Amino acid sequence: MPNPTSRHSKSRRDKRRANWKLSQPVTVLCPECQEPTLSHRVCQSCGTYKGKKIIEVVEKEL
């Protein structure tokens, strides 16, 4: 394949990269403790998923 004969400007390059924005992850409220969590994940504050206790959450002491 042939190579480009002239160089693209910085603005032309940056226009192409303008749509690479990060989006904030979607959170839902846990039905048990009402803390925001990622959907389809075990709640990190109470350890439940779909109403069942999956992990035992231990509070860290400082």
- pTM here? 0.57
Is residue 14 in a domain? no
Is residue 47 in a domain? yes
Q: Which domain holds residue 45?
A: 24-62
Is residue 11 in a domain? no
Residue 61: its pLDDT value, please?
73
Digit-coded pLDDT (tens) for 8-51:
899 999 998 888 888 889 999 999 999 999 999 999 999 999 98
Is residue 55 in a domain? yes
Residue 5: its pLDDT value, please?
85
Is residue 8 in a domain? no
Is the Cβ–Cβ distance between 51 and 30 less than 8 Å? no
Is residue 58 in a domain? yes
- The full 3-state SS of the chain, as one line of letters, equals CCCCCCCCCHHHHHHHHHHCCCCCCCEEECCCCCCEEECCCCCCCCCEECCEECCCCCCCCC
Digit-coded pLDDT (tens) for 40-62:
999 999 999 998 999 998 887 76
Residue 21: its pLDDT value, please?
84
Is residue 2 in a domain? no
Count how many domains the chain has: 1
Is residue 10 in a domain? no
